[in-house]
Amino acid sequence: MVDMVYRLQDTICDAIGALDASSYREDEWTREEGGGGRSRVFSEGNVFEKAGVNVSVVHGTLSPEAAAKMGGGHDLVGEDLDFFATGLSLVLHPHNPMAPTVHANYRYFERGEGVVEGSWWFGGGADLTPSYLFEEDAVHFHQVHKNVCDRHEVADYDAYKTWCDDYFHIKHRGERRGVGGVFFDDLRSQSKEVCFAFVEDCASHFLEAYMPILERRRTMAFTAQQKEWQQLRRGRYVEFNLVYDRGTKFGLTTNGRIESILMSLPLTSRWEYCHEVKPGSEEEAMMNVLRQPVDWLNR
260 close to 295: Cβ distance less than 8 angstroms: no
Query: What is the band of 79 on the pLDDT scale with cuts at 50, 70, 90?
Result: low
Maximal CA-CA distance, the chain: 57
Residue 69 pLDDT: 60
Query: Which residues lie closer than 8 Å to 180 by C-beta, 6 or more apart?
Result: 127, 128, 138, 142, 161, 164, 165, 168, 293, 296
Q: Angle formed by the axes of helices 2-20 and 206-217, to 10°?
A: 10
Residue 62 pLDDT: 78
CA distance 182 to 61: 30
Residue 216 pLDDT: 97
Q: Among 50-54, 86-90, 253-257, 282-286, which stretch is predicted with the lowest mean pLDDT?
A: 253-257
CATH number of 2-291: 3.40.1500.10
Query: Above 50 in pLDDT, residue 76?
Result: no
Residue 19 pLDDT: 93
What are the phi and psi torsion angles at 121 (to 5°)?
Answer: -170, 160
Q: Between 83 and 228, where is the model more confident? A: 228
Once rounded to an integer, what is the mean pLDDT over residues 25-33?
A: 91
DSSP characters over 205-266: THHHHHHHHHHHHTT----HHHHHHHHHHHHHHHHHHHHT-HHHHHHHHTT--HHHHGGGS-
Nearest CA-CA partner of 4 in 77, 55, 67, 70: 55
pLDDT in tens, 130-184: 999 999 999 999 999 999 999 999 999 999 999 999 999 999 999 999 999 999 9
CA distance 10 to 95: 23
Q: Any idea what DSSP says for residue 298?
A: -
Residue 48 pLDDT: 96
What is the share, in percent, of the chain residues with pLDDT greater than 90? Answer: 80
Once rounded to an integer, what is the mean pLDDT over residues 237-248?
A: 93
Once rounded to an integer, what is the mean pLDDT over residues 214-232?
A: 98
The catalytic residues are 103
* Whether pTM exceeds 0.85: yes
Query: Above 90 in pLDDT, residue 38?
Result: yes
Residue 74 pLDDT: 56
Query: Above 80 in pLDDT, residue 196?
Result: yes
Let me know the angle formed at the C-alpha of 109 by 128 and 145, rounded to the nearest 5 degrees.
30
Nearest CA-CA partner of 99 in 233, 8, 205: 233
Query: What is the band of 81 on the pLDDT scale with cuts at 50, 70, 90?
Result: confident
Query: What is the band of 36 on the pLDDT scale with cuts at 50, 70, 90?
Result: very high
Query: Above 90 in pLDDT, residue 204?
Result: yes
Residue 287 pLDDT: 98
On average, the pLDDT of the chain sits at 92
What is the share, in percent, of the chain residues with pLDDT greater than 70? Answer: 95
CA distance 169 to 162: 11
Residue 222 pLDDT: 98
